[in-house]
Amino acid sequence: MKLKPLDDHVVVEPLEAEETTAGGIILPDAAKEKPTRGRVVALGPGARLDDGTRAPMAVAVGDVVVYNQYGGTDVSLEDTDYKIVRESDLLAKVN
């Protein structure tokens, strides 16, 4: 991974959006929403606390997470799209 996030930032590779609805209707590309789930591919060292130590990260590389649809920064590297978000902007970890 050539991206090394700083502080409490997380690099997420978005997972593809669903192509069909729960009722079986196939969605055209124009109707698909931006992905909100992705796989963590890199972590920063954690936020710096007041005493100078680093806070541990709550996610690990390989975790599938849910994030805000319009949050973070989109980055494209070597023909792959990534999203860089703060750990606090992650909404959930998928088990």
Nearest Cα neighbor of 70 from 93, 91, 54 is 91
Give the pLDDT mean for 39-49.
94
Any domain includes 43: yes
pLDDT attached to residue 16: 76
In the chain, the number of structural domains is 1
Any domain includes 25: no
pLDDT attached to residue 54: 94
Any domain includes 2: no
The pLDDT of residue 40 is above 70: yes
pTM above 0.85, yes or no: no
pLDDT attached to residue 3: 86
CATH code assigned at 84: 2.30.33.40
Max alpha carbon distance in the chain (Å)?
54
Is 87 or 22 the better-scoring residue by pLDDT? 87
Any domain includes 67: yes
Any domain includes 22: no
d(CA 7, CA 20): 38
